[in-house]
Amino acid sequence: MKKSILVPHDFTDVGNYAIEHAFMVGKASKSPIHLIHVVGKTSQIEPARAKLTEIAEKAKEDKDVEIVVEIRKGNLFKEIYKYGLEIDAYLAVMGTHGIKSMKKAMKVVKKFVKIPFILVQSPVIFGEYDRIVIPIDADITSRIKIQWVRYINTLFESKAFIITHNASDGFKQKGISNNLKFAQNWFDKELIDYEMKVLESGRNFADSIYSYANEVESDIILVMTNKYRSYIKDLKKAENLELYKKIPIMCVNKRTDIFKIGGFN
């Protein structure tokens, strides 16, 4: 079975936006897209299947990407997870309703230890993920997100925009410096173009991430899942709260093992 892209759909506009983003990645990676909707009653299965099939056909039109529709009955989180394992998903794209649905979204994302989720609230704007903003902190386990940049680059010839900050704590500063060196060495080795911005301190780091994303016209922001909630809740500027709605966020879970998918290992 081909590595697949999983797209949970809740019959809302943001679900359709997720399909758009999944099609963009699926076309570049030649990966099939699997849509799933979960119902609570047996009587809802066939009506839901008809509705999701209609959505899939309308979204596909003349796009040269395989798309599969699946309806499951049961617990939302468990069924999405089980189906993701069945189809050997390596990536998921999910529409979210922003801050008000953050807890629910994170409950889905955290179940998938081995695959990242791209969370979207808006349609595709520029057409490719070729300008990636990557916040860097002292956590050594976050280096896995640097490796995901390599995979995205194989699809879109992306440029990485690193943002970090100085720390008053010597131990944390050493961790940040080591992670920056890792990122730079990795990008140099893989011939990935990058720029870096170092802030004087970590104050208002969340707002700084989005201000930088706006400055470089970022297509996607890549974060560790355990940082997602704090970054979003720490946003204070109105313009950055609006950017949060427009720029997709790729959430990567912590893990100690790395598995191969195409150019990623």
Please report, as a single letter, which amino acid is at residue 79.
Answer: E
Q: Model pTM? A: 0.92
The span from the CA of 112 to the CA of 108, in Å, is: 7
**Fold for the domain defined by 131-252:** Rossmann fold (3.40.50)
* Fold agreement (4-120, 131-252): yes
Per-residue pLDDT at 261 exceeds 50: no
What is the CATH number that goes with domain 4-120?
Answer: 3.40.50.620
Domain ranges of the chain: 4-120, 131-252
The pLDDT value given to residue 63: 78
Q: What is the pLDDT of residues 185-233, one digit of tens each?
A: 999 999 999 999 999 988 899 999 999 999 999 999 999 999 999 999 9
Name the helix (H) or strand (E) containing 34.
strand 33-39
| Contact by Cβ (8 Å): 151, 263 | yes
The pLDDT value given to residue 258: 45
DSSP string for residues in 82-123: HHHHHTTEEEEEEE--GGGGHHHHHHHHHH-TTS-EEEESS-
